[in-house]
Amino acid sequence: MSRKRVVIAGLGDVGVLTAIRLAPHFEVVGISAKPGLVSGQELGVRLARPDDWARDYWIPFDRFRKLDRVRTVQAELTGVDLAGRKVFGRAEDGTPVAEAYDALVISTGVSNGFWREPSLRSAAEIGAGLYAAHERMATARSVIVIGGGAAAVSSAVNIATTWPDKQVDLYFPGDRPLREYHPRIWKRVAHRLADLGVGLHPGHRAVITDDFAGDEITSEPVRWSTGQTPAVADAVLWAIGRVRPNTDWLPPELLDEGGFVRVTRQLQLPGHPEVFAVGDVAATDPLRSSARNRGDGLVARNIRAVFDDRPLRSFKAPGRRWGSLVGVQRDGLEVFFPTGHAFRFPLWSVEHVVMPLIVRWGMYRGIRENRPFG
């Protein structure tokens, strides 16, 4: 009997982990618009220290040992035939792509600014964009960061840390950023921002037109719908959380009012038990937290359970976001818990234990070194 085939639509952070878990048990095909993992994590490190970011978050697929048994296809997704169990796409040269499946995993994520976008890109194009954004920040004498989420806060911290002579200001709506985290976390990060000399400007909501995607660094004055005087800087980073699910290729009846994929507690699509969704694209809860709470493991287990006719497990969403906020710094890596408390890994342990053993071997089951993009 031939092995069951699982197609994973989207090979970002969650898609890669799902493929690694499924590869020992099924024929796995992964479809990605990029030639490797291009993570949406750690925007601040990406802007301030692109070489460090690329080492950990921009990784060719052939460096992942457990993806050796996964066939990867670089293509833009264009549609799906649920009755015929086929996914369709278009390769970079325009060639049509069609992949049949016994089970389908939708992990296409979301678009959010220039650092998370779904279009086909070569390694050269990815690299050019990475270093162009860094150069824009490096040459700016003053930077405005707009947003109240983790990406905005991380960017402000990392830019101010890397370029201490640069004027950096963080503007956000409401009385504090990080509303999805425990209040204790913001208090701790606010002290760090103050020590770095970052200007904090609560209660500022930017005027944003309907067609503005925030997908570029701008330099025009920022105007506020909350009535304050316009703000000006050499570079304006829009980390406003205007996420757009990458679901244009899916039938509208599969989506909720925001365009995210409807799922059951088992991360299956209602009425389609052979189709799963996981990560930021899946409408699991308001925080779409299967992206950060090992939803990949649950999907992999439930796919095996479907084929083995066993009971499926349910996803349980945490009440708050947690984890690292600003990435690895000179004093190590600080990880926050849902309670708001923090634990710091010293830099030596990050370099010799956390990244090589816990991440590269524990999470990814082995990443080869010295295989850069060609």
DSSP string, 211-231: T----S-B-SPBPBTT-PPPB
- 350 alpha-carbon distance from chain centroid: 21
Tokens of residue 285, six digits: 């809860």
165-202 pLDDT tens trace? 999 999 999 999 999 899 999 999 999 999 999 999 99
8-19 pLDDT tens trace? 999 999 999 999
Please count the other Cβ atoms lying within 10 Å of the Cβ belonging to residue 246. 25
Following CA atoms 38, 43, 44, 46 in sequence, which dihedral angle do they give, to the nearest 10 degrees? 20
107-130 pLDDT tens trace? 999 998 899 999 999 999 999 999
288 within 8 A of 260, measured Cβ to Cβ: yes
Which sign does the torsion angle of CA 218, 57, 60, 29 carry? negative
Of 28-32, 78-82, 122-126, 215-219, where does mean pLDDT reach its minimum? 215-219
CA–CA gap between residue 198 and residue 160 (Å, rounded): 7
Task: Give the per-residue pLDDT at 5.
Answer: 98
Residue 373 predicted with pLDDT over 60: no
318 within 8 A of 338, measured Cβ to Cβ: yes
311-334 pLDDT tens trace? 999 999 887 888 899 999 999 999
Task: Give the per-residue pLDDT at 211.
Answer: 75
Across 254-274, average pLDDT: 97
198 within 8 A of 154, measured Cβ to Cβ: no
Rounded to 5 degrees, φ, ψ at 121 are -140, 140
Task: Give the per-residue pLDDT at 371.
Answer: 53
CA–CA gap between residue 235 and residue 336 (Å, rounded): 30
Task: Give the per-residue pLDDT at 207.
Answer: 94
Mean pLDDT of the chain: 94
Question: Distance of CA 236 to CAs 136, 152, 160, 242, Å?
Answer: 10, 11, 14, 16
Given its phi and psi angles, is residue 84 left (phi above 0), alpha (psi -120 to 50 degrees) or beta?
alpha
DSSP one-letter code for 240? -
Please report, rounded to a whole number, the percentage of residues in the chain having pLDDT higher than 90.
88
Number of alpha helices (DSSP H) and beta strands (DSSP E) in the chain: 8, 20
**Residues 92-126 as b or e (16 or more Cβ within 10 Å = b):** eeeeebebebbbbbbbbbbbbbbbbbbebbebeeb
Task: Give the per-residue pLDDT at 374.
Answer: 43
342-356 pLDDT tens trace? 999 999 999 999 999
